[in-house]
Structure 1
Amino acid sequence: MTIAEDSAPQAEVMSIASPINLIFASLFIVLVYWHFRPKQAIELPRGPPPTVFRVYTPKTLIEFNGENEKPVYLAVRGRVFDVSPGRNFYGPGGPYENFAGRDASRGLAHQSFDEEMLTKDLSAPLDELKDLDADQLENLQSWEDRFNEKYLVVGKLVAEGDPEAPKS
């Protein structure tokens, strides 16, 4: 007799990876997924539209004064800042609303929010601020530093007729 004939039939060893166990595991995974899956599509809030750095003139900047749901921009020493997050201060009805859509450099340097600090003629050359004293320049620098920390620079302010000025 041979060894194979001599031994009694051995019990089959069940494997964990048997087809029935794989079916049950798959069914369990599907049921867990169906139970915990998101019920509605998750919608992320919309961010603000992208802002493109561009060149402004006093005439093109004036429209960004916060009226009609437009952003609020102001310029300091030739750099245009988006101060829309501070709309309560710089937008319509705010204490600094005179500066919205304008070059605010002279008014900030003088710590004055009066209209006479603003350039009336939008076609005139930009204010070079040459007549400011040391204290006024220091005031202006502190305002500019504050704007740099809090707001995005969205453009550059140039005079009408400047080679960089946008074509009308």
Structure 2
Amino acid sequence: MDYVEQRMAQEAQKHAANPASTAFLTPLNLFLVAVLLYTTYVILRPSPPPVLPKEAPATVFRTFTPRTLLPFNGEDGAPVYLAVRGKVFDVTSGRNFYGPGGPYANFAGRDASRGLAHHSFDEDMLTKDLDGPLDPLEDLGKDELEALRDWEERFNSKYLVVGRLLAAGDEKAA
């Protein structure tokens, strides 16, 4: 017997002794086993516990004066509040409108009643004397009062009332 025949006989004996081990260890079978194991892991792996959203801090109903309302203008991440007819609304969720850079930004931290009644964003619609009496709105006409009521209804349906606006000095009597 020559060398080649001897070698073939040895290989035949190896395969005859353990044919399943060499037939199973083909690259395709190894790849399929890996895919099967990965798929099983993905299906059976434990899911992470659900993450609940953080609750917003509780808002306490409080009394504001024009001066104590002023810091709630949305700057430096502060909440955005504005007052309409004595009610202080948290309009932070509408920060794009009422916060810094928004079209209604001059009403943030202020009594917006007169400006909303007149459909005006002018600075002269805002109360100048922060320590004086509140604007009684007595000079508003029928159309302006109706517009103000519409705005107030819109705020009541959309935003949370967080307080009331009183003139400086009146908050101690309330």
TM-score, normalised to structure 2's length? 0.72
- The code of the aligned residue for 1:64 comes to F
The C-alpha deviation readout for 1:103-147, integer Å capped at 9, x for no partner, is: 000000000001010011100100000000101000100000100
Q: Is 1:134 aligned with 2:142?
A: yes
Q: Which has the higher helix share?
A: 2
**Mapped pair 1:53 → 2:61:** yes
Distance in 2 between the 1:90 and 1:38 partners? 45
Alignment-derived partner of residue 23 in structure 1: none
Q: Does 1:69 align with 2:69?
A: no
Q: Match for 1:159 among 136, 150, 167?
A: 167
Give 1:148's match in structure 2, choosing from 131, 152, 156: 156
Q: Match of 2:29?
A: none
Identity of aligned residues (%): 67
Counterpart in the other structure of 1:103: 111
| Deviation for aligned residue 1:39 | 3.8
What RMSD over aligned residues (CA atoms) do the two structures have, in Å? 1.7
Q: How many positions carry a matched residue from both structures?
A: 132
Whole-Å Cα distance in 2 between the matches of residues 112 and 52 of structure 1? 31
Deviation of the 1:38 alpha carbon: 4.8
Aligned partners of 1:158, 1:70: CA distance in 2, in Å? 21
C-alpha distance in 1 between matches for 2:171 and 2:63 = 11
TM-score for the superposition, normalised by structure 1: 0.74
Asked whether the equivalents of residues 55 and 164 of structure 1 are also in contact (C-alpha less than 8 Å), the reply is no
How many angstroms does 1:60 deviate by?
0.6
User: 2:159 is matched by which residue type in structure 1?
Assistant: Y
Q: Is the 8 A contact 2:80 2:108 kept in 1?
A: yes
Distance 1:82 1:36 in 2: 46
Q: Which amino acid aligns with 1:101?
A: G
5+ residue gaps, structure 2 = 1-42
CA distance in 1, matches of 2:50, 2:107: 40
Structure possessing the higher radius of gyration over alpha carbons: 2
- Any gaps of 5 or more consecutive residues in structure 1? 1-34
8 A contact 2:65–2:171 mirrored in 1: no
